[in-house]
Structure 1
Amino acid sequence: MLSAQLRTDGAEVDPAGIADVVAAGTVPWRRADDGTVEVALVHRPRYDDWSWPKGHQDPGEALTLTALRETAEEAHLGCRLGARLGHTAYAVPGKGHKVVHYWAAEAVRDHGFSVTDETDDLRWLPRDEAAALLTRPTDADLLDRLARVGPPSSTVVLVRHAKAGSRTAWEGDDDLRPLSGTGFTQADRLADFLDRFGPDRLATAPPLRCGQTIEPYAHASGAGEPDVEPLLGEHGYWVSPADGLARFRTLAAQPGVTLLCSQGGVIPDVVGHLLAAAGRSPDPDLPSHKASTWVLGFGDDGALLSADYYRRPPS
């Protein structure tokens, strides 16, 4: 069931080196009044097909941004990203090999569909009806991937703090050691990236550098001050990892999206336990680079459904 993606966003968009054209899109979803999941398809008059909203990556643009921008342009939906759904690949006459990267995306704002040159219709459908209407079989495959990773009941966006000042040069309480100049730059870059996942609430481990890492996002979004979580910093966590994990699961059980900033001595252990509980043998060297992000999706029962890793804050 688990779809763990150890990938970065940004430059490494085509690790196999096979794409002449790189694009990104979403599988937009929402819950109907009866709780069932519906997905949004768009009709493209140029091709007379039904597909997911998608489009070409602009130069220097992160794929996460491409996916959301194209969804807004083609479907007139404001979404927040969830799990990565992988990619589709096919040949385009005269253009070569095209690779389209997809994310599950919860529709949180409907701006009202209007006809454009690119799309002239949008339909919200249950998954089985959507599968029958989609033109490309590879697009229908994405529905199966969506079913495997949710949609989630809750998501945790787990960030490691950005680069801090020198530990050896700092003479005070280590919890008060601030970000370095590089770290503040990373935090600024993280703000836009984190916004693409639409956090509902913020939390941080006690060290100042953790709070400083998500402060630019908090200010830009108007989210306010994060809750401080003593059990999810290195000092509190290793007094009793069981209590720390229990506290993390409590946060993860809250509906919607929780943004949590923690430390490199905590994040790999938490993610490793989650992967093991989901039946996947965790890598003994799970990544947790400074200013990196894990996006973790959870089901109704608290089980981990998806785990996507972004090594650095993209543009």
Structure 2
Amino acid sequence: MARLVSPRRGPVIAAGAVVWRATSRGDLEICLVHRPRYDDWSLPKGKLDRGEHPMVAAVREVWEETGHQVRLGRKLPTQRYEVAGRPKVVHYWLAEADDTAGPREPDDEVDAVAFRPAEDALERLTYERDAELVRAALDGPVRTTPLVLLRHAAALSRESWPGPDIERRLSTPGIRQAEALIAVLAALSPRRVLSSDSVRCVDTVRPFAERFRLMLELDPSLSEEGLRAGPNPHRAGDVVRSLLSDGPAVVCSHRPVLPLLFEAAGTDPGPTLEPGEFAVLHHHEGRVVSVDRQSAGVA
């Protein structure tokens, strides 16, 4: 009699961060956690909750395992390995430690949190794959500023919309994307929210701006109408160039405008962003050093 074979389960998806801090002398320290269950020293990470975005999970897991509330920095290489015969995929980012965090009480998951000088951390980490991540983190600026270039969420089709295109609204899936973006964008802690004055762009970022009481800055040059009207079609690029010397920000615009924004930032736009997708341009001293493409959906 033939045995029924269970289909291979999908990979376990997890997320975490290389958390760092600078000492008063300017030396770099890396955060390690000790897990009593495995008696190992590793980087803070954990599995995604159902429907959770990896960026959101990375921030949550760092908080749960270290007591530090962090903003994500540069994306680091993704780890892929097997655990008990099942593939595991772990997404990692850099993150600066929270200098207001107090000591974390030990528990069954993590019984010690330690910041160690970078070279010491490389030696103490139990797994070479974690040490490779730390080396990747150190191979570039550790403190960067995120500039998010976001394509508006899914909108009603042009054919079905009876009014002016600038007033075209989000579809039901687009509304869900805008709600999902609240937690995802929060992982980057933007302090400015800029948008095309088209309704579909405004409604994409309004939920996030309202949740965190941020001013929603409308700029017609970021709209398709502004791109066509002139008189200066490159005004949108000026917006991005100014933001490369500013703090964390998100810019919501349209498919035809986004290539101008990438060009102004001095980086390759890559494949066209789909509705609700965004690119995080991590910049340092006015220069983009890393680009991380993400969407409002889960991995």
TM over 0.5: yes
Given candidates 231, 234, 240, the residue that maps to 1:248 is 240
Given candidates 272, 284, 298, the residue that maps to 2:283 is 298
Judged with a 3 Å threshold, the aligned counterparts in structure 2 of structure 1 residues 203 and 282 are, in CA distance, closer, same or farther, namely closer
1:307 aligns with 2:291: yes
Letter in 1 for 2:30: V
Structure 1 stretches of 4+ with a deviation exceeding 6 A read none
Given candidates 108, 122, 137, the residue that maps to 2:128 is 137
**Counterpart in the other structure of 1:11:** none
**Counterpart in the other structure of 1:102:** 92
Contact 1:21 1:99 in 2 (8 A): yes
1:64 aligns with 2:55: yes
Given candidates 86, 105, 110, the residue that maps to 1:114 is 105
For structure 2, the residue ranges without an aligned partner over 5 or more in a row are: 1-7
Letter in 2 for 1:56: K
SS in 2 for 1:77: coil
**Aligned counterparts of 1:98 and 1:162: Cα–Cα separation in 2:** 30
Deviation of 1:270 after TM superposition, in Å, equals: 2.4
Letter in 2 for 1:313: G
SS in 1 for 2:70: strand
Letter in 2 for 1:314: V
Q: Deviations over 1:233-263 (max 9, x none)?
A: 33435644544323202112213x2122111
**Aligned counterparts of 2:297 and 2:90: Cα–Cα separation in 1:** 21
**Aligned counterparts of 1:241 and 1:151: Cα–Cα separation in 2:** 35
Q: Deviations over 1:253-289 (max 9, x none)?
A: 213x212211111123322554xx45xx664xx2211
| Identical-residue share of aligned pairs (%) | 34
Deviation of 1:155 after TM superposition, in Å, equals: 0.9
Deviates more, 1:79-88 or 1:155-164: 79-88
Given candidates 245, 252, 261, the residue that maps to 2:252 is 261
Quick one: higher RCO (CA 8 Å, sep 6+), 1 or 2?
A: 1
Letter in 1 for 2:168: R
**Aligned counterparts of 1:30 and 1:51: Cα–Cα separation in 2:** 17
Letter in 2 for 1:250: S
Judged with a 3 Å threshold, the aligned counterparts in structure 2 of structure 1 residues 292 and 43 are, in CA distance, closer, same or farther, namely same
Contact 2:152 2:200 in 1 (8 A): yes
Letter in 1 for 2:224: E
Give TM-score scaled by structure 1 length: 0.80
Deviates more, 1:128-137 or 1:33-42: 33-42
**Counterpart in the other structure of 1:5:** none
CA RMSD, aligned part only? Answer: 2.8
SS in 1 for 2:255: coil
**Counterpart in the other structure of 1:183:** 174
**Aligned counterparts of 1:153 and 1:80: Cα–Cα separation in 2:** 10
Judged with a 3 Å threshold, the aligned counterparts in structure 2 of structure 1 residues 272 and 246 are, in CA distance, closer, same or farther, namely closer
**Aligned counterparts of 1:190 and 1:39: Cα–Cα separation in 2:** 29
SS in 1 for 2:190: coil
Equivalent runs, 1:142-157 vs 2, <5 Å: 142-157=133-148
Deviation of 1:190 after TM superposition, in Å, equals: 1.6
**Aligned counterparts of 2:102 and 2:202: Cα–Cα separation in 1:** 33
For structure 1, the residue ranges without an aligned partner over 5 or more in a row are: 1-16
**Counterpart in the other structure of 2:273:** 288
Aligned residues: 289
Q: Deviations over 1:63-104 (max 9, x none)?
A: 223322222221111122233212223443x44443322122
Q: Deviations over 1:294-314 (max 9, x none)?
A: 1110011x2211111124433
SS in 2 for 1:46: coil
Judged with a 3 Å threshold, the aligned counterparts in structure 2 of structure 1 residues 313 and 46 are, in CA distance, closer, same or farther, namely closer
Contact 2:255 2:272 in 1 (8 A): no
**Counterpart in the other structure of 2:4:** none
**Aligned counterparts of 1:56 and 1:153: Cα–Cα separation in 2:** 26
Give TM-score scaled by structure 2 length: 0.84
Judged with a 3 Å threshold, the aligned counterparts in structure 2 of structure 1 residues 233 and 53 are, in CA distance, closer, same or farther, namely same
Judged with a 3 Å threshold, the aligned counterparts in structure 2 of structure 1 residues 57 and 182 are, in CA distance, closer, same or farther, namely closer
Deviation of 1:112 after TM superposition, in Å, equals: 3.0
